[in-house]
Structures are given as structure tokens and as C-alpha cells.
Amino acid sequence: MNFMAHTAARRIFGTAMAAAVAVPLAFAGMAAAQDYPSADETLDWTIAFGPGGGNDIMARSIVEILNKYDLYPGDIKVENRAGGSGAVGWGYLASQAGNPYGISTTSGSFVTTPLQADTGWAPEDFTPVALLATDDLVLVVNGSSEIQNIEEFIAYAKENPINIGGTGTVNVDFIVPTLFAQAAGFEFDYVSFNDMSEQTTALLSNALDAMVGNPGEILGLIESGDLRPLVFSGQNIPDALAGVPTMGDIGYDIGVSMPRGLILAPDAPAEAQEWWIETMKKVVDTPEWKEYIASNTLTPTVIYGEDFRTFLTKTKNGFEEVLKSVGAVQ
């Protein structure tokens, strides 16, 4: 299979990882685990990306709900620690092993970044609290395309050379259509773009046959008819894509979703993990959380504790297998 531009992903990680060195922290004097959480301890909330992105919005939405409903007794310090596609921020949290007051949110890069760089940590190293939603992709064609549905697309792709666009190189935009193509039995060239606006322009000008994107980013163009959605990679269809089949619906479930969840530092006390699990059950039941899911076109997918660790491990293994198969990682 011929894939374009999948070897450039390592270009920024070396410099970024130098900034993610272990931060020596002393946890002496911290409240006993059985008293968790202590109102005297500040919760150190790391956002591994800059302001305004999906990870930032999710983290701050959770914090707003915690504060509104008085679910956390102490102060919460939220800090963006961006760099290296999440390597810096999650590296900072990894350095706080055993600390019940270090916390962060996850995204697709939580899985892909350690596959491309020597981060010193893996997704399963952290203490899992909850998978709260999945950020999945929709495959779309130009609204003026003669291809009306996913069955016609697969049939066309089996007989003709096609390309599919995505944002970035070795990431989920590359992995999802690759796994789907392997399952459905067709080949394609992957064309990477720096941002969604560039690839959308390419598709609308017929420079691309298709592209993948988060539905929340392109929903307006779908609703206007400029883009036609064919298939969704998640297991549950968001309301905005009602009527669009999932890959599982047509027999090609790739078993991959981007985890938007909550983690504590590695080896956090069991009491802290359990407290956060019970608290997040309250958070996801609020109208504010339901509005967050709807407005960001996420797939509501909630699993807790060690089941979340299993999900992360399965996702990482699936990503690693496909990236190795095309020579993107060693």
C-alpha cells in the first residue's frame, strides 16, 4: 500500500522531550490517603496542550462542573504544559508517581506520542480514572461527488486509485483510514495537511477524493451539503450524524477510538482513584456535561478504572501494529 508523508512525525519530539525531564517533587506531609481529598491540598491539573484545543476545553469543562456543584473540597490549579504533542505535560504528571493530587486529561496523542518518541512513559503507566467520551472521525466526500454512500465508495476504491486527506502525519487521521482500508480491502494514498481548513479546501476543489475529520470541526459543511458523510469510526453515532453508519455497522469495526478521559499520576493511592471514579459518575450525569458532549460532537463512551486501562492498552497495541506495518515506527 502506498502512503504519503508518514515518516515526518519525529521532527519535533527530541527537543520537546528535553523539556519533559522528571520534576523532583516531595510529597511528605501530604494528607493521608484515607482522608482524600484534603481541602488543604491544591489539585495540580495538567493540560498537556495549549489553550483553546479539545483537551483544554474538556479539562476546563470538568473543572467548571466540579466547582459549580462543590464536588471538590479544595483549590484546583489548572495549568497548560504544552509541548511535543503532549509529551511535556504527561511527562510532568509521570514524574509525580504516587501523588494523589496530580491529574490530567487524555486525547489521541496520549496513545500516539509514546509510539513515536522515547517519552519514558506509556498510557497504561498512569492511574486510570475514567474514559468519558471518544473523539472519532467521519469519512466524507465532496457533496457534489457521484459517490452516495460507503458501499459505493469501497467499490470505487477497489477499482480506482484514490487519495484520502487528513490533518498531520503519523496520527489518528492516518491510522483510522488505514485500518479501515485494510479491513475493507482497498488501497489509498494518504495526503497530510497542516490544518483542517487546508484539507477541506482541497476536497472541495476536487484535489482529494475523500478526507477524515472530527465531525465537530466540519459539521457546518455537512449540514450545508458541501460535504457528504459516508461512515463514522466510533461505536455510537452522535445525533449530528444520524443516519450515517458506523464502520462496525457495515462489518469493518476497527476497534479504535480516541480516548478523552481522566488519569491520575502513576501509582496513585487506590483511595484517590476510587474517589475520582465516584466523582466522575456525578460529573457525567450533569446537564453541563451532556451539553459539552453534544456541542463538541463527541461520542458518549464511559468506562471506569481498570477497564479504562484495558481500553488504552488495546488502543495502543492496535495503533502500534498499523504504524509498524507501514514503516512509520520501528
pLDDT tens per residue, the chain (330 residues)?
Answer: 444 444 333 333 444 444 444 443 444 334 445 589 999 999 999 999 888 778 888 999 999 999 999 999 999 999 999 888 889 999 999 999 999 999 999 988 899 889 888 999 999 999 999 999 988 899 999 999 999 999 999 999 999 999 999 877 777 888 899 989 999 999 999 998 877 889 999 999 999 999 998 887 888 999 999 999 999 998 888 888 999 999 999 999 887 778 899 999 999 999 999 999 999 999 999 999 999 998 888 888 899 999 999 989 988 887 888 788 777 777
- Kindly tell me the sign of the dihedral angle through the C-alpha atoms of 246, 141, 299, 262: positive
- Do 312 and 205 share a domain, yes or no? no
Q: Is residue 91 one of the residues assigned to a domain? A: yes
The angle subtended at Cα 185 by Cα 180 and Cα 187, nearest 5°, is 80
Final residue before a domain boundary, out of 175, 206, 241 = 241
CATH classification at residue 124: 3.40.190.150
CATH classification at residue 198: 3.40.190.10
- Do 198 and 169 share a domain, yes or no? yes
Residue 111 burial (CB < 10 Å; 0-12/13-18/19+)?
buried
| pLDDT value for 84 | 86
H or E segment and range at residue 61: helix 54-68
HEC letters along 300-324:
CCCEECHHHHHHHHHHHHHHHHHHH
Q: Is residue 82 one of the residues assigned to a domain? A: yes
Pair type for strands 258-264 and 102-105? antiparallel
Range of the structural domain that residue 310 is part of: 9-134+258-325
Residue keyed to cell 450525569: 285
- Do 70 and 36 share a domain, yes or no? yes
Q: Is residue 228 one of the residues assigned to a domain? A: yes
Final residue before a domain boundary, out of 241, 268, 299 = 241
- Do 117 and 15 share a domain, yes or no? yes
What are the phi and psi torsion angles at 78 (to 5°)? -100, 125
DSSP 35: G
| pLDDT value for 143 | 98
Q: Is residue 80 one of the residues assigned to a domain? A: yes
Q: Is residue 192 one of the residues assigned to a domain? A: yes
- Do 152 and 233 share a domain, yes or no? yes
Q: Is residue 204 one of the residues assigned to a domain? A: yes
- Do 201 and 289 share a domain, yes or no? no
Q: Is residue 1 one of the residues assigned to a domain? A: no
Number of structural domains found in the chain: 2
- Do 130 and 263 share a domain, yes or no? yes
Residue (of 257, 258, 256, 261) closest to 130 by Cα position: 261
- Do 52 and 142 share a domain, yes or no? no
- Do 69 and 124 share a domain, yes or no? yes
Final residue before a domain boundary, out of 209, 241, 273 = 241
- Do 13 and 94 share a domain, yes or no? yes
HEC letters along 71-140:
CCCCCEEEEECCCCCCHHHHHHHHCCCCCCCEEEECCCHHHHHHHHCCCCCCHHHCEEEEEEEEECCEEE
CA-CA distance, 185 to 155, in Å (whole number)? 10
- Do 125 and 147 share a domain, yes or no? no
- Do 126 and 265 share a domain, yes or no? yes
| pLDDT value for 34 | 59
Q: How far is CA 145 from CA 80, 116, 142, 210, in A?
A: 42, 36, 5, 10
| pLDDT value for 327 | 76
User: Side by side, which strands form the sheet with 163-167?
Assistant: 189-193, 163-167, 210-213, 138-142, 227-232
Q: Is residue 330 one of the residues assigned to a domain? A: no
| pLDDT value for 16 | 43
- Cα Rg for the chain, rounded, in angstroms? 20
